Structure 1
Amino acid sequence: MRCKTLTAAAVVLVMLSAGCSTFEKVAYRHDINQGNYLTPTDVAKIQKGMTQQQVAYTLGTPMLQDLFGTQTWFYVFRQQPGHEGITQQTLTLTFNSVGVLTDIQKRC
């Protein structure tokens, strides 16, 4: 009798573990968006020679600023749609000592 109970319990556990992995893929998972969402139109407006104030007006405040004295701003957007993989886009803007934009780098 005890053997039948243990076997039944093992079968139930196996079915539950298989069911959970299937359920995980069927269950709804909402998109997770973090950071600065920038449209291609907004990024196209940014040009070398703009001031920090002009860039902030166009794109908003950056997610990160370099803390070590260089004038570098980072606009980071991280997206995790439902059951898909994570994507990250980074726009790095470098300003000179006067606050004029000198370099633009985009990473997807």
Structure 2
Amino acid sequence: MRCKTLTAAAVVLVMLTAGCSTLEKVVYRPDINQGNYLAPADVAKIHTGMTKQQVAYILGTPMMQDPFGNNTWFYVFRQEPGHASVSQQTLTLTFDSNNVLTNLDNKPKLDGQK
């Protein structure tokens, strides 16, 4: 009788500890996408010498502008799949005083960011 009780307790313990990780995968978690999704073909069209209007026509309105001036635009896209790590893409555009694009910085996706 004691052997059956110990076996049952061991089975319950294994089921409880193993169930936590598998239960996490069973629960539906929607993908969360935030920001400006930029297609690689659209980003390839951007080059220095373009005006703000030309850039906005291709990429749309930026997610953020430099709070201390209006010469830097930030396009940020953050993707959080339901059961995978978070990735983020950041495109930073810098304009001169004549509203002409002078610098383009496309940071790659970073996995595991929170």
TM over 0.5: yes
Q: Distance in 1 between matches of 2:55 and 2:33?
A: 22
Q: Distance in 1 between matches of 2:70 and 2:102?
A: 12
Q: Distance in 1 between matches of 2:59 and 2:75?
A: 9
What residue identity is the alignment partner of 1:61?
A: T
Q: Distance in 1 between matches of 2:95 and 2:41?
A: 21
Structure 2, unpaired ranges of 5+: 1-11, 109-114
The worse-fitting range, judged by mean Cα deviation, of 67-76 and 44-53 is 67-76
Q: Distance in 1 between matches of 2:37 and 2:74?
A: 12
1:78 equivalent to 2:78? Answer: yes
Hey, what does 1:42 align to over in structure 2?
42
The equivalences for 1:46-57 within 5 A come to 46-57=46-57
* Alpha-carbon offset, residue 23 of structure 1: 1.2
What residue identity is the alignment partner of 1:57?
A: Y
The 3-state SS of whatever aligns with 2:47 is: coil
Q: Distance in 1 between matches of 2:17 and 2:98?
A: 61
Structure 1, unpaired ranges of 5+: 1-11
The worse-fitting range, judged by mean Cα deviation, of 14-23 and 97-106 is 14-23
The worse-fitting range, judged by mean Cα deviation, of 71-80 and 23-32 is 23-32
Identity of aligned residues (%): 71
What residue identity is the alignment partner of 1:46?
A: I
Q: CA RMSD in A?
A: 2.0
* Alpha-carbon offset, residue 18 of structure 1: 5.5
Q: Distance in 2 between matches of 1:70 and 1:53?
A: 13
Q: Distance in 2 between matches of 1:17 and 1:49?
A: 59
Q: Distance in 2 between matches of 1:46 and 1:78?
A: 21
What residue identity is the alignment partner of 1:99?
A: N
Hey, what does 1:96 align to over in structure 2?
96
